[in-house]
Structure 1
Amino acid sequence: MNALEEWVVSTTDTLWTWLLLPLVVVLAVYFTIRSGAVQIRLLPRMVKGLTDRTPTDAEGRPQSLSAFQAFTVSAASRVGIGNIAGVGTAIAVGGPGAVAWMWLMAIFGAATSFVESTLAQLYKHRDAEGFRGGPAYYVQRGLGSRWLGVVLAVVLILAAPFAVTMLQSFTIAETVTGSFDGGAPGWVAPAVATIVALLTAAVTFGGAHRIARVTEAVVPAMALLYLGLGIIIVVLHAEAIGPVLQAILEDAVSGEAVAGGALGTVILTGVQRGMFSNEAGFGTAPNAAASAATTHPVKQGLVQSLGVYFDTLFVCSITAFIILVTRPDLETAEPGVAMTHDAVVGSLGTWAGVLLSVIVFLLAFSTILGLNFYGESNIEYITERRSVLLAYRSVVVAVVLVGGLVSATLVWSLADLLLGLLALLNLLAIAPLSRHVFRLLRHYSDQVRAGRDPVFTRDALPGVARIEAWEDERSVTGLPGEG
């Protein structure tokens, strides 16, 4: 097992360091330039898109998920343990300067998220419950490759709803058992794993719409709890805000990494942890983006770009400030959740540690739901058989149960490798397809300048084949008398 683990870690490091991260950075910069910095220029439109009207069908029912529901589903998978453990690890390895590179990666990565999510909307598929789509769908329809779409779907299922879900369950059980002074009784971990598995079953077997309804309630609640906790701690250490900001900016270019001791380590750690957290380019969020009913693909592209900012510039930043304003000794600090936990308890007392455990549970559980949503979309891409979907849901519940009981070391390494492979395949797919996105952006912008609420129909992209939805204005808007 050790030999396998060493091989996985070595392969993962090579994939990320020499192949994936350069591609991520180059494409993010290219998409930013090519789109005229859409992720900055249209920021007000991103916020407005959250409350966009949901088109209805002939019976007056929503055609699919609302823009806000799609946002919360993607936020459920984005905002997870990585926002607490990942930031702590980034600071422990790369020093405060890694935070600045996480911020920079979020700003440029939002352009990548815009491209992949807009493509997911363009090539989305309509079924009895609404819309679904993602990388597998736009690879088949945009690049004409069914086999590559299946490969992407399989890799995503193995990486997200299986490997990463197992890690979330493990983290919940570990957090609960770790809260017992002197060690938890042996029955606690199995009991926690069973409860989480039952909760997962109750939501997952209700289908995509139930997952969306739960994330719509849980994501804002957990975000407000965590942001409130962080703001209290930062206010209590207000005198440290200036020095912390200075340390973040100075260390970003000084190369004073804690573990690596080089500028390359600071940049590499910040960029990698930033991408792991906000998932820009991974190909995961597009599965949520495609599920939204909207009148123009660009609208959901903008909403998902906002999701990158929400994850990194807000939630990750709160974690960074919680840690850094308490002035930890980074040379001896334990990376991961422990850094955040020690900072919270040290500032507010043991009660705050209990609250943090509740927040960790909400983060991990909502991530499980978001990833399961992605898995369902890709199972349905591979096969429409209802029995396979039910079998998938059963396996997910079993994975949650097992994840709370086993060591996560090898699973975490495999998840890193599979997520890296997924991101590589997705980025190579969206690079040539991005030309359609820039045409869509011009179409959207022209209508905005004309004072219209942008509406897209597939005849606006002549020469682009295999667009399934977007037939005419009446079906797109859900309003009578259109088209």
Structure 2
Amino acid sequence: MLDMLNDLLWGKVLLVLLVGVGIGFTVASRFVQFRYFGEMFRILGSGQAFKRNKHGHLSSFQALVLSVAGRVGGGNIAGVAVAITLGGPGAIFWMWLVGLMGMATSFLECTLAQTYKEAEGDGTYRGGPAYYIVKGLGKQWRWLAAFYSILLLLTFGFAFTALQSYAVATSFGDAFGVPVLYSGIALAMLVGLIIFGGIKRIARISEVLVPFMAVSYIAIALLVIAMNIGEIPGIVALIVKSAFGLEPVVGGGIGAAIMMGLKRGLFSNEAGLGSAPNVAAVAYVPHPANQGIVQAFSVFIDTVIICSSTAFVILLSGAYDPSVAGGVEGIALTQAALADHVGEWGRTFVSLALLLFAFSTILYNYYLGENSLNFFSRDNQNLFNAFRVAIVLLVCWGATTDLGTVFGFADVTMGLLAVVNLIALIMLFNCGLRILKDFDVQRRQGIKQPIFDANQHPDLDLDPKAWELDPEEAEALKQRLEGAPAK
């Protein structure tokens, strides 16, 4: 039953929806992910992304690293290896395509999450698909928002948390001989220390951990590429030819390449799932499109940079041999590939990288679960504390259990998540374009940092407290409305 549902969702329904929304918004927005690609760096380099307002809301950069923490996980190491094993090198091409189109999808969903976010009493915001479904589509769609929240809790709050714990424990067992129970207990204790501090503590940890782990992993991949620079053109040609069936059949042929690239690409970068908007909504930004642009960049980091790093490490090594049936697979393939390049310490490096990636993803998964619970029972601390205890126990249990069936179940619920969110994005397509147009118009007027005036959109049913601007930005907006020269 799980296999049948997976084939239906990933082989047919999502193929149409993902491609349709990604290409549709790319064209309708006039290629927003490419038009504002340089803007991603300007926002991050200007200091605006690091700014928190007087209430102590999270910065745009903190929301970025939180989403990268979730996007960059086991899928970037083990998932890429699985995609190559089952779909051949061509799967990487389709992962790239999903990533580039996913940048537009992520812009749309994260901009909507910012637009419809709600202010909390503790100096944070809440938002995400459940919120923009109810507020954007109307209260008659609350059942769809509730269904999405349940799927989010099951998929990220429970299934993916256990899977990440399992990946860490088994990797450490292979590399260092550490019993999985001990790894599970240690990981559960670390997770517990952080998640009981709430979203702000998770953000502070991620702000340090995520840049360190991403830069370290990319650096080792660049070392491998530099060691094999002459082979890069041949590998790129292999990827492209395999994507279109121009190479001898590997795995399941072109169909398997497309399906594995689509599935693993979405699993890795999560564009269209609606998971990243839950953390994109927590930031203080002067305009919703700011966070949309930054979150589009996080998809690029995940798929085009980090997934490609893993792919090149594998394809440039002697560990990958498609002619050998039942060869090395999954995380073991990535470990063997890096060891082939740099020696046995490469296995240790991959295990440590997986630990950091999976650990940050568990924190991210916890917050998604908490946000889904908040939709049903707002600010219920007893419920949140019970969920935190459950996550700690789940991390320990997941490390010691074979989760093959859980993985199949998670693929189905993740597919359903994407279907619900993509349907909502299609229905809110024009709203996303409207917010982007507001940003575009201000940029054409020469305003370097557009400011969102919620009062200009009374029909959107926005939370006025969520759009209270900092004094300096409120003054700039006032002068602009009064006709004073823009600053």
Residues of 2 paired with 1:376 and 1:293: CA distance?
20
Whether the aligned pair in 1 keeps the contact of 2:51 and 2:60 (CA below 8 Å) is no
CA displacement at 1:155 relative to structure 2: 0.9
Q: Give me the identity figure in percent.
A: 37
Q: Which residue of 2 aligns with 1:245?
A: 236
Q: How does 1:346-361 map to 2 (within 5 A)?
A: 346-361=340-355
Residues of 1 paired with 2:204 and 2:459: CA distance?
38
Q: Which of 151, 155, 171 pairs up with 2:167?
A: 171
Residues of 2 paired with 1:475 and 1:373: CA distance?
30
Q: Which residue of 1 aligns with 2:64?
A: 71
Query: Which amino acid letter does the alignment assign opposite residue 20 of structure 2?
Result: V
Instruction: Report the CA distance shift for 1:471/1:171 in structure 2 as closer, same or farther (over 3 A).
Output: closer
Residues of 1 paired with 2:461 and 2:282: CA distance?
21
Whether the aligned pair in 2 keeps the contact of 1:169 and 1:401 (CA below 8 Å) is yes
Residues of 2 paired with 1:435 and 1:197: CA distance?
44
Whether the aligned pair in 1 keeps the contact of 2:50 and 2:60 (CA below 8 Å) is yes
TM-score of the superposition, structure 1-length normalised? 0.93
TM-score of the superposition, structure 2-length normalised? 0.92
Q: Which of 138, 151, 168 pairs up with 1:155?
A: 151
| 3-state SS of 1:280 partner | coil
Q: Which residue of 2 aligns with 1:323?
A: 314
Q: Which residue of 2 aligns with 1:138?
A: 132
CA displacement at 1:130 relative to structure 2: 1.2
Q: Which residue of 1 aligns with 2:102?
A: 109
Q: How big is each residue's C-alpha offset from its partner over 1:262-309, in whole Å with a ceiling of 9 and x where there is no partner?
A: x22222222222111100000100001100100000000111100110
Instruction: Report the CA distance shift for 1:267/1:54 in structure 2 as closer, same or farther (over 3 A).
Output: same
Q: How big is each residue's C-alpha offset from its partner over 1:306-341, in whole Å with a ceiling of 9 and x where there is no partner?
A: 011000110000001001111421232323112211
CA displacement at 1:61 relative to structure 2: 4.4
Q: Which of 452, 457, 464 pairs up with 1:456?
A: 452
Q: Which of 367, 386, 393 pairs up with 1:373?
A: 367
Whether the aligned pair in 2 keeps the contact of 1:103 and 1:312 (CA below 8 Å) is yes
| 3-state SS of 1:140 partner | helix
Whether the aligned pair in 1 keeps the contact of 2:235 and 2:315 (CA below 8 Å) is yes
| 3-state SS of 2:460 partner | coil
CA displacement at 1:16 relative to structure 2: 1.4
Whether the aligned pair in 1 keeps the contact of 2:153 and 2:372 (CA below 8 Å) is yes
Instruction: Report the CA distance shift for 1:392/1:465 in structure 2 as closer, same or farther (over 3 A).
Output: same
Whether the aligned pair in 1 keeps the contact of 2:58 and 2:200 (CA below 8 Å) is yes
Task: Confirm or deny that 1:260 pairs with 2:252.
Answer: yes
Residues of 1 paired with 2:148 and 2:350: CA distance?
35
Q: Which residue of 2 aligns with 1:97?
A: 90
Q: CA RMSD in A?
A: 1.9
Q: Which residue of 2 aligns with 1:218?
A: 209
Structure 1: give runs of 5+ residues left out of the alignment.
1-6
Residues of 2 paired with 1:470 and 1:414: CA distance?
36
Query: Which amino acid letter does the alignment assign opposite residue 331 of structure 1?
Result: S
Whether the aligned pair in 2 keeps the contact of 1:98 and 1:270 (CA below 8 Å) is yes
Whether the aligned pair in 1 keeps the contact of 2:115 and 2:462 (CA below 8 Å) is no
Q: Which residue of 2 aligns with 1:407?
A: 402
Whether the aligned pair in 2 keeps the contact of 1:159 and 1:418 (CA below 8 Å) is yes
Q: Which residue of 2 aligns with 1:269?
A: 260
Instruction: Report the CA distance shift for 1:478/1:377 in structure 2 as closer, same or farther (over 3 A).
Output: farther
Query: Which amino acid letter does the alignment assign opposite residue 438 of structure 1?
Result: L
Residues of 1 paired with 2:396 and 2:250: CA distance?
37
Q: Which of 326, 332, 335 pairs up with 1:338?
A: 332
Structure 2: give runs of 5+ residues left out of the alignment.
480-487
Query: Which amino acid letter does the alignment assign opposite residue 157 of structure 1?
Result: L
Instruction: Report the CA distance shift for 1:471/1:273 in structure 2 as closer, same or farther (over 3 A).
Output: closer
Q: How big is each residue's C-alpha offset from its partner over 1:238-266, in whole Å with a ceiling of 9 and x where there is no partner?
A: 221121111112222235441113x2222
Whether the aligned pair in 1 keeps the contact of 2:171 and 2:331 (CA below 8 Å) is no
Q: Which of 262, 282, 286 pairs up with 1:291?
A: 282
Whether the aligned pair in 2 keeps the contact of 1:81 and 1:168 (CA below 8 Å) is yes
Q: Which residue of 2 aligns with 1:389?
A: 384
| 3-state SS of 1:254 partner | coil
Instruction: Report the CA distance shift for 1:471/1:81 in structure 2 as closer, same or farther (over 3 A).
Output: closer
Q: Which of 23, 39, 43 pairs up with 2:37?
A: 43
| 3-state SS of 1:267 partner | helix
- Aligned residue-pair number: 468
Whether the aligned pair in 2 keeps the contact of 1:89 and 1:336 (CA below 8 Å) is yes
| 3-state SS of 2:119 partner | strand
Instruction: Report the CA distance shift for 1:357/1:457 in structure 2 as closer, same or farther (over 3 A).
Output: same
| 3-state SS of 1:326 partner | coil
Residues of 1 paired with 2:293 and 2:125: CA distance?
18
Whether the aligned pair in 2 keeps the contact of 1:49 and 1:67 (CA below 8 Å) is no
